[in-house]
Amino acid sequence: MALHLTLLDGRLHDRAGFTCGVPSLDTYLREQAGQHQRNGIATTHVLVDAAQPRHILGYCSLAAAQLNLSELQPADRKRLPTYPVPAVRMARLAVSAGAHGHRYGRLLVGHAANCASALRETLGVRVLLVDALDVKAARFYRAYGFREAMANSHTLYLPLGKLIAP
């Protein structure tokens, strides 16, 4: 199986056939992801098997965001200016119910972190944000190094580290 991550293409990818078991995530992909992408609100990245490119195995949506400095853990605030911290928000992440157990969620989190890190070449980005739907989702993100924001235990962030100056 040759996996491929690409931007959602409504003409190619079968959004109607996707189900992950969380109605709000299914509805987002079917009804809003394309509109958000066309309107510059968020981009949706889909995971597909190259042999079946219509079938979506999972997806994540990314958008520009910011986080108030006071929301970072104290150790992460050091030497940062007092204005909001630039961020990328992983607005949605879902894996098809038929693909659970294959660690595709891990692959999608890694892809989101790589996209956020790549933006640092041209745009200030300090953290990758996510608003976990529930305690189980928050635990999933914490396993990959996400930290709780100070005011809300379901808002988590992943520090992207420092770039080495040329």
Instruction: Read off the pLDDT of residues 27-81 as tens digits, 9 standing for 90 and up.
Output: 999 999 999 999 999 999 999 999 999 999 999 999 999 999 999 999 898 888 8
- The verdict on residue 102 lying in a domain is yes
Residues 6+ apart with CB under 8 A from 36: 42, 44, 61, 63
Is 89 within a domain? yes
Parent domain of 80: 3-159
In a domain, 165, yes or no: no
Compute the residue count for the chain: 166
Give the distance from CA 107 to its chain's centroid: 11
Q: What is the pLDDT of residues 131-158, one digit of tens each?
A: 999 999 999 999 999 999 987 778 999 9
> Would strands 155-159 and 147-148 be described as parallel, antiparallel, or unpaired?
antiparallel
State residue 127's pLDDT score: 95
**What's the angle, vertex CA 111, arms to CA 4 and CA 52, rounded to 5?**
20
Q: Determine how many CB atoms are found less than 10 A away from the CB of residue 62.
A: 21
CATH code, domain carrying 54: 3.40.630.30
| Spatial separation of the C-alpha atoms in residues 112 and 106, rounded to whole Å | 10
Beta strands in the chain (DSSP E): 3-7, 43-49, 52-67, 85-95, 127-131, 147-148, 155-159
Q: Is residue 62 part of a domain?
A: yes
Confidence of residue 162 (pLDDT cuts 50, 70, 90): low
Per the listing, tokens 């980005």 go with 125
Q: How many domains, the chain? A: 1
Residue 151 counted as domain residue = yes
Mind listing the pLDDT tens digit for each residue in 96-119?
999 999 999 999 999 999 999 999
User: Helical H runs in 53-103?
Assistant: none
